[in-house]
Structure 1
């Protein structure tokens, strides 16, 4: 176990050497920077094995990987299954993107017709779509827009609740996108998703701060960045024939 240093929030990124194909491990950097703008101290701890785990974990980020590294990534996450189970049961906010999410499900189908067992920690499984999807993805998440890009061969079924309804794109393949399971969010959105949708980052931060009894402060820097992100989402929406926010 690593030696800890005091910080308001500790953000763990799991197996980033294997699960960062689309830069999704950078979601941890978004969380840390927004925490700092809110007057809190934050640190990011890359975790590749149990030995890397800090004593306190406030937020968890899992990125996406390639199919060629699926077995290695699954085995690395399996070694951390007890920690993941504890975080899920304890309400620690977890964001998992792409294959990082799929590997926590019951399993995922592969292009060669075989399947790979997942960790079975979140409801559902990832099944093959008719074709690979690589396009913009826009989602209505309880009245708030999420925007990014998707690049995946598998959809998702069996989630107890989705992240939102697809306005443009494919997502899970059934008109919904992602999964919500307690404090866990799984999504196909890349970008990284939290840089393009900082309101989702703030949702995760608020959950973590509430658990720790912390009160984030307002920030002009945050407001400025939020405006830039909103303008970028609107530019995509207009290009796709959707209304602006």
Structure 2
């Protein structure tokens, strides 16, 4: 019996910022904890709608967001069943925007989102590019941001769903916020990809997902060994975040 089912949606269209890395980290850390983890990819018009413990939706350009939007809406009943059963959703960039209530774009009509996150998104001409560091209840969230999206919580939304307070960089949730976490949904603009750089966040997702099956997720020496790589990368990002600023992607 598989202990953990991980589903990645639209990896060919929403996977441009190393989003498969987020999937692989979840599976690897689960297996190091002695769990049997399986990965299923679902593309456009695929009939498969398997039970899932974690659903990952990656990042992509606005054209990809528009392309997958109707297919994702067609899976609303499936997503609802998975959430009711306790599945965790981790979404990045454009994938996260599809979970908001609405996306306002510069070159056409607004794009209606699924409304799983009580927030609206505005695409702007002000691109936010660079390293980002935010304080969260699970420790520091570090990575890279490259987007022109401003998130605003809807009136009446619980302010506690703001996951991170930005201490370096800009973030996507004004003022000075980054990432929304609500009812098992993680919506973020942190790239890198995020989970290899932030094992504490991966562990929080896995603990929630495994607990809903009545199981336990515990880390050990094998996790500590790979976490050491993340620790060194995080330290370098934090060092650079205080001094290096970008206005565009620089190679």
Instruction: State the shift of 1:224 in Å.
Output: 1.0
Q: Is the 8 A contact 1:11 1:60 kept in 2?
A: yes
Does structure 1 residue 53 correspond to structure 2 residue 49? yes
2:183 & 2:135 partners in 1: Cα distance? 19
Q: How many residue pairs align between the two structures?
A: 236
Does structure 1 residue 111 correspond to structure 2 residue 106? yes
Q: Pick the aligned partner of 2:3 from 4, 8, 27.
A: 8
Instruction: State the shift of 1:130 in Å.
Output: 4.8
Instruction: State the shift of 1:217 in Å.
Output: 4.4
- Deviation string, structure 1 residues 156-214 (Cα, Å, up to 9, x no partner): 01163112101111212321111111111100001111000011000010011111122
Corresponding residue for residue 164 of structure 1? 164
Once superposed, what is the RMSD of the aligned Cα atoms? 1.8
Corresponding residue for residue 89 of structure 1? 84
Instruction: State the shift of 1:240 in Å.
Output: 2.7
Q: 1:132 to 1:238 in 2, by over 3 A?
A: same
Instruction: State the shift of 1:13 in Å.
Output: 0.6
TM, length-normalised to structure 1? 0.90
Q: Is the 8 A contact 2:132 2:241 kept in 1?
A: no
Q: Is the 8 A contact 2:168 2:242 kept in 1?
A: no
Instruction: State the shift of 1:89 in Å.
Output: 3.4
SS of alignment partner, residue 149 of structure 1: strand
Structure 1: stretches of 5+ with no match in the other structure: 1-5
Structure 2: stretches of 5+ with no match in the other structure: 244-251
Residue pairs, 1:18-97, within 5 angstroms: 18-48=13-43, 49=45, 51-54=47-50, 56-97=51-92
Q: 1:240 to 1:70 in 2, by over 3 A?
A: closer
TM, length-normalised to structure 2? 0.88
- Deviation string, structure 1 residues 29-51 (Cα, Å, up to 9, x no partner): 11000000111110101122462
Does structure 1 residue 240 correspond to structure 2 residue 241? yes
Q: 1:218 to 1:131 in 2, by over 3 A?
A: closer
